[in-house]
Amino acid sequence: MTTKQKLLQICNERVDKRISDYKEEVNLIKESIESTDKGNSEGDDSGSGKLLNDLEKNMAYLNDAKKIKDYLSNIKTNIESTDAILGSIVKTNVMNFYISTSIGKIDLDDDVFYAISVNSPIGQLLINKPVNTSFEFNQNKYVITEII
């Protein structure tokens, strides 16, 4: 398995975990709402209101995670490019990036990669740039040394 394939697999696993966690949370909230409704004959819905709010938030997070999962399915690990594109590993003099989605730090095979979104501030600085491009971000000067 190539490094790109491993990174994509890790991203997918982390998003799957998010989806699973949000589904579990949604189910717990639904159960709480049902038990609150059954035991609440006084007409006091302050508890239900907060639960409904939590349910809405978690449903939105779940939908976002599902969209990220769909987005990751667009990444092709066998495409090579001289410019940084979706699915590229971009090595710089400071750190290594994997242009995919905002997952954060990934330790892999004695190397560290940061999975970032194309839409993130650093992703915007990297996308469509070739090797030897330099840029500044957070007071650091970066030089793209390799694109895989």
Chosen domain end from 72, 107, 129: 72
Say if CB 114 and CB 11 are below 8 A apart. no
Structural Rg of the chain based on CA atoms:
21
* pLDDT at residue 131 tops 60: yes
Chosen domain end from 46, 72, 98: 72
Cα separation, 110 vs 12, whole angstroms: 20
In a domain, 15, yes or no: yes
For residue 34, the model assigns a pLDDT of: 87
Same-domain status, 67 and 7: yes
Which one-letter amino acid corresponds to residue 118? V
Same-domain status, 65 and 14: yes
Say if pTM beats, i.e. exceeds, 0.75: yes
DSSP string, 53-101: HHHHHHHHHHHHHHHHHHHHTT--TT---SB--TT-EEEESS-EEEEES
Say if CB 8 and CB 72 are below 8 A apart. yes
For residue range 52-70, list pLDDT tens digits in order.
999 999 999 999 999 999 9
Same-domain status, 109 and 49: no
In a domain, 82, yes or no: no
For residue 46, the model assigns a pLDDT of: 64
The boundaries of the domain holding residue 124 are: 89-147
DSSP string, 82-95: SB--TT-EEEESS-
Tally of domains within the chain: 2
In a domain, 21, yes or no: yes
Same-domain status, 14 and 55: yes
In a domain, 122, yes or no: yes
Same-domain status, 22 and 67: yes
In a domain, 84, yes or no: no
